[in-house]
Structure 1
């Protein structure tokens, strides 16, 4: 029939239990990278009960007719920023419609914990850099954050990393200097979060205050991670050989497992040199370092606009930046330095027509969807001055999309056996009220399967599924999902490999993909025949001690 029988019809026809379900006649890709096998998947009480030959008799179960379709483990998005968005809207629309069933949050040094009361304003301001509406946290640690998520209900599972930015604020405020006793406090606080079930630590080494971390600080934290066998995910200081070497040395010196986040080349003079970075990763792996990377399938990035300011401009946080830029002479100096470029020492030239205002919340009446070039011209000021004024008025809330990458580089990264698929996006509602978040939030996984598997042939289907499922579970040490195997959690996606595709664009991002018919999270249907249900079966996952 090609559609799931309704609850009522299934119950009338079979007298079946509502939590028992069989997916019939699909090509089963179990997530391990092995070729598909035609068969049935039996789900009961939130778990995979059995993998069966096609048409095997099953008593008292609802039926999904998946003939001509593929069933795979639910996708685990290794790099997301859904920390706040799943609290604000538990539907997680932009992700479940792609088949994503688990969001790994807490990346790039941003997380919703740990928080301390004396620095709560700085914590909340840092969270604004993710790009969501503000929240008023009533929790302080991972356990409290998990309770808030579970209390609200989500359609997806959540696995959390500790954000280094929040960890550093909790222990040291926004000061750049870190006394030894504060570093010891950071390590103790990190250990507490790991004991509570966080899967690791992330850094955002281009963001304040994470960017203040030196080698000694990162080494101490990575040693704590190695002690707990947890992951270190780094948004590095750049996309150069030196940045990967810094990550590799940390792995070598501490024994920590290293994940290089959203591998990309943002410098125009280095476009086309993806192979150089991959060679460095291979070299560190050959030396015994557990180093891998993730990539999202787009040629543009997105972030808070404040990230691109000279480091000294926002030292000490947003309030300090506003005070600093109120001085006309300081503002002129900042304008001159910013105009010269961004990135490592300002070496990357600005192409203002490649910078799109994605979210402004009406700050300075800045038009969402416009380029900085056009917006600054309309305001009658230089582009650098316009950016500084936006950051002074809007802080970390102002978000931009930068077209500073090439698809060829991204494709080479995607094909490498040590890269995993992540979105770098949040679980968002489709209605965006005129905002233009990066389409990666709405289409990354579907885009890999549609464009880079089916259309361009960069990856075999089984390989792509592996990089979204069991390979991610293995990387994080998630032991109960990521593979279609009896006894594991029943997170699964049913899709049509001939039609699956993303439809989100930069100007119209809030568009669902096509080709995904059913999605199960912990055995409950969150997508039923292409439509989202009211189910909120997601759980907060916890690392095993």
Structure 2
């Protein structure tokens, strides 16, 4: 007797193998039969999957849903895409460890990437309890974050860590790994992770390597361009032996567009040398973040209130304007017509470029940027159009890439916001645009990059594949119609073609209807992941 039988499907098992016909039987939250199931086999429910693909649930390896799922555990924007597991804690922003004496700094720091929620827990165990109390439709696989470790140990100070502070970060990281974190991320252009030098990051990477855990890096901006950023990530892997995930690979300098092959050769050469490195990528030519993340790194030191106090001093304000005029990060010029306001607490400027707002307000754009950061702190987000579609396609097609949205699990309806469409359409877009329409990827390989490969990298042996004994996280989609429907500068629309999403054997999305079951769990890391 099965809880669920999916019949007459086209099975894509996640391994990269070609599609094949077959049935799937599910009982007790796991796949218990695969292939041809007897016509008279009993089941509580049977789903006819003719002309549909059945594959493992998608694992979004790069997200910022740490606090958005505390606010709403449905995770609608990801559930409707077929995502069954969110990997949180990326770009150095993790919801643990929390130092109670610096709670206001933690809340301020996390608001820049996830949601304005003040933590009431202190460690991964407490964070997991908070998520389970909320109730989850999808699973959560947590990373520790370098920025959060720094805030807990030393606040938001722009300086090297003392020996005692370094030991605190190492202890906190080791405890997080002991509690089941899958690794640690950095955000080396983002305050305060950016204040940590190479040696600090390497010391923490050695803690990860000792436990076989993952190092996910939002890379440092190093002159002259992104090649130096990739080189630093490779060097961390070389010196420490840690497995490196290079986050959201992209070329952000217009004069470097079209040079993706140069970066890919660096990854290939590192792998030949024996360094275990791969990268995640999302299928859009624009990014999104808090506007404050583009300020000179000294300005947000100490948090938003400290930034406001600095900007009240005329000499400091002028220093900020002078530094901004030299470009952001490693000298990339400010492209005011490419910065678009995507969310703001009071709705100011939504869908307008900074260039348009500057003209309408009659305020020079550098000064306007400072005023917006003063007014809204980390809670005003922008979309930045500064990437090339040619590079996106090259990165998606490369064997070392996996798919990560860099987005959040959030409700579709977003008042005072038109968030980046990656939040709502990353996975259907890969399937519909890049696999079916552009044929940048074979469909089975696209599914591999969303399922078995991220599961392998994380060390989730019973997820990411259609196999007897695997956890029944499953997606049923229409390969002929699947597509993303959300667009830049517009309210979100759900994707087309994702028919059914099953989490732990429970149907949580059924032809557009989200059920009441909340089978999602916070996953914990066990044994060392396999390394190819």
1:268 correspondence with 2:250: no
The corresponding residue for 1:304 is 290
The corresponding residue for 2:478 is 496
1:358 correspondence with 2:345: no
**Separation in 1, partners of 2:43, 2:177:** 42
1:39 correspondence with 2:22: yes
The corresponding residue for 1:11 is none
After TM superposition, which residue ranges in structure 1, 4 or more long, deviate above 3 angstroms? 54-57
1:406 correspondence with 2:392: no
Deviation at 1:315, TM superposition (A): 2.4
**Separation in 2, partners of 1:528, 1:341:** 48
1:197 correspondence with 2:183: no
2:60 corresponds to which of 55, 59, 77? 77
Q: Secondary structure at the match of 2:392?
A: helix
1:508 correspondence with 2:494: no
The corresponding residue for 2:320 is 334
Q: Secondary structure at the match of 1:441?
A: helix
Give the alignment of 1:78-227 within 5 angstroms: 78-132=61-115, 134-175=116-157, 176-227=159-210
Deviation at 1:300, TM superposition (A): 0.2
**Separation in 1, partners of 2:386, 2:208:** 33
**Separation in 2, partners of 1:302, 1:509:** 16
Do the aligned partners of 1:366 and 1:375 also contact (CA within 8 Å) in 2?
no
> Structure 1 pair 434/101, CA: closer, same or farther in 2 (3 Å)?
same
Do the aligned partners of 1:77 and 1:102 also contact (CA within 8 Å) in 2?
yes
1:541 correspondence with 2:527: no
Do the aligned partners of 2:67 and 2:114 also contact (CA within 8 Å) in 1?
no
Q: Which runs of 5+ in 1 are unaligned?
A: 1-15
The corresponding residue for 2:530 is none
> Structure 1 pair 60/444, CA: closer, same or farther in 2 (3 Å)?
closer
1:467 correspondence with 2:453: no
Q: Secondary structure at the match of 2:90?
A: coil
1:19-63: per-residue Cα shift (whole Å, max 9, x none)? x00000000011000011100000011110110316643223310
**Separation in 2, partners of 1:131, 1:75:** 21
**Separation in 2, partners of 1:329, 1:252:** 43
Do the aligned partners of 2:147 and 2:191 also contact (CA within 8 Å) in 1?
yes
Deviation at 1:481, TM superposition (A): 0.6
1:280 correspondence with 2:244: no
Do the aligned partners of 1:438 and 1:509 also contact (CA within 8 Å) in 2?
no
Q: TM-score, normalised by structure 2?
A: 0.96
**Separation in 2, partners of 1:198, 1:149:** 15
Do the aligned partners of 1:38 and 1:54 also contact (CA within 8 Å) in 2?
no
Deviation at 1:348, TM superposition (A): 1.0
Do the aligned partners of 2:478 and 2:498 also contact (CA within 8 Å) in 1?
yes
Tell me which moved more, 329-338 or 98-107. Answer: 329-338
2:430 corresponds to which of 442, 448, 467? 448
Do the aligned partners of 1:131 and 1:398 also contact (CA within 8 Å) in 2?
no
**Separation in 2, partners of 1:181, 1:434:** 43
Tell me which moved more, 389-398 or 47-56. Answer: 47-56
Deviation at 1:330, TM superposition (A): 1.8
Do the aligned partners of 2:65 and 2:114 also contact (CA within 8 Å) in 1?
no
**Separation in 2, partners of 1:52, 1:359:** 47
Q: How many residues align?
A: 523
> Structure 1 pair 131/371, CA: closer, same or farther in 2 (3 Å)?
farther
**Separation in 2, partners of 1:65, 1:328:** 69
Do the aligned partners of 2:81 and 2:427 also contact (CA within 8 Å) in 1?
yes
Q: Which runs of 5+ in 2 are unaligned?
A: 528-532
Q: Secondary structure at the match of 2:43?
A: coil
Q: TM-score, normalised by structure 1?
A: 0.94
**Separation in 2, partners of 1:26, 1:56:** 14
The corresponding residue for 1:323 is 309
